[in-house]
Chain A
Amino acid sequence: MFPEQLNVPLGKWVNQFVDWLVVNYGAAFEAFADSLLTVLVALEQVLRGAPWWVVLIAIAAITWHASKNWKLVVGLVIAMFAIGMLGLWDKAMQTLALMIVATSLSVLIGIPVGIAMAMSNRLRAVMLPILDTMQTMPSFVYLIPALMLFGLGKVPAILATVIYAAPPVMRLTDLGIRLVDQEVLEASRSFGASRKQILFGVQLPLALPNIMAGINQTTMMSISMVVIASMIGARGLGEQVLMGIQRLDVGAGMEAGVAIVLLAVVFDRIGQAYGKRSQRSHDAEDA
Chain B
Amino acid sequence: MSYIEIRNIFKIFGPDPQSALELAKGGADKDEILAKTGHTVGLHDVSLSIEQGETFVVMGLSGSGKSTLIRHLNRLIDPTAGEVSFGGEDILAMDIPTLNAFRRKRLGMVFQRFGLLPHRNVMDNVAYGLEIQGTARKEREAAASKWIERVGLAGYEAKYPDQLSGGMQQRVGLARALATDPEVLLMDEAFSALDPLIRSDMQDELMKLQAELHKTIVFITHDLDEALKIGDRIAILKDGKLVQVGRPEEIVLRPADDYVQAFTRDVNRSRVLRAKSIMEPITSGESQAVNEYWPSIAANARLADILPVALANGTSMTVRDAKDTAIGTLSPQQIVEALEG
Contact = CB atoms under 8 A, between A and B. Distances in A.
Interface stretch (A71-79, A80-88, A111-119, A182-190): A182-190
Contact of B103 (A183, A190, A202): A190
Q: Top 6 nearest A-B pairs by Cβ distance? A: A187-B115, A192-B104, A192-B103, A190-B109, A192-B100, A183-B115
Interface string A26-67: 000000000000000000000000000000000000000000
A192 B102 contact: yes
Contacts of B132: 188, 191-193, 197
B107 interface: yes
A184 B117 CA distance: 6
Interface in A163-201: 181, 183-184, 186-194, 197, 201
B74 interface: yes
B169 to A, nearest CB: 12
A190 B133 CA distance: 12
A69 interface: no
B129 interface: yes
Contacts of A194: 97, 100
A12 interface: no
A192 B109 CA distance: 11
A122 to B, nearest CB: 15
Contacts of B104: 191-192
Given A192-B132, A205-B119, A282-B160, A187 B109 contact: yes
Contacts of A189: 76, 103
Interface in B101-117: 101-105, 107-109, 111-117
A184 B109 contact: no
B6 to A, nearest CB: 17
B128 interface: yes
Contacts of B186: 190
A281 interface: yes
Interface of B: 71, 74, 76, 97, 99-105, 107-109, 111-119, 121, 128-129, 132-133, 160, 180, 186
Contacts of B103: 189-192
A206 interface: yes
A186 B160 contact: no
Contacts of B116: 184, 187
> From DSSP, what is the main secondary structure of chain A's interface residues?
helix
Contact of B101 (A190, A192, A201, A202): A192
B119 A190 contact: no
21 contacts: A181-B115, A183-B111, A183-B114, A184-B116, A184-B117, A186-B71, A186-B76, A188-B128, A188-B132, A189-B76, A190-B74, A190-B107, A192-B101, A192-B107, A192-B132, A193-B100, A201-B117, A206-B117, A206-B118, A281-B119, A282-B121
A181 B114 CA distance: 11
Contact of A184 (B76, B102, B118, B160): B118
Contacts of B113: 183
A contact residues, range? 10 to 19
Given A188-B132, A191-B128, A192-B102, 6 more contacts: A186-B76, A187-B116, A190-B107, A191-B132, A193-B132, A201-B117
Interface of A: 181, 183-184, 186-194, 197, 201-202, 205-206, 281-282
Contacts of A281: 119
| Among A187, A194, A205, A282, residue most surrounded by chain B Cβ atoms (within 10 Å) | A187
Contacts of A183: 111-115
Contacts of B112: 183
A190 B115 CA distance: 11
Contact of B119 (A187, A193, A206): A206
B119 A186 contact: no
A55 B116 CA distance: 43
B126 to A, nearest CB: 11
A192 B105 CA distance: 8
Nearest to B112: A183
Given A183-B113, A184-B116, A186-B76, A191 B121 contact: no
B116 to A, nearest CB: 7
A209 to B, nearest CB: 10
Contacts of A188: 117, 128, 132
Nearest to B103: A192
Contacts of B107: 190, 192
| Among A186, A192, A202, A282, residue most surrounded by chain B Cβ atoms (within 10 Å) | A192
A201 B104 CA distance: 16
A200 to B, nearest CB: 12
B162 to A, nearest CB: 8
A202 B117 contact: yes
Contacts of B105: 192
A202 B128 CA distance: 11
A193 B132 CA distance: 6
Nearest to B107: A190
Contacts of A202: 117
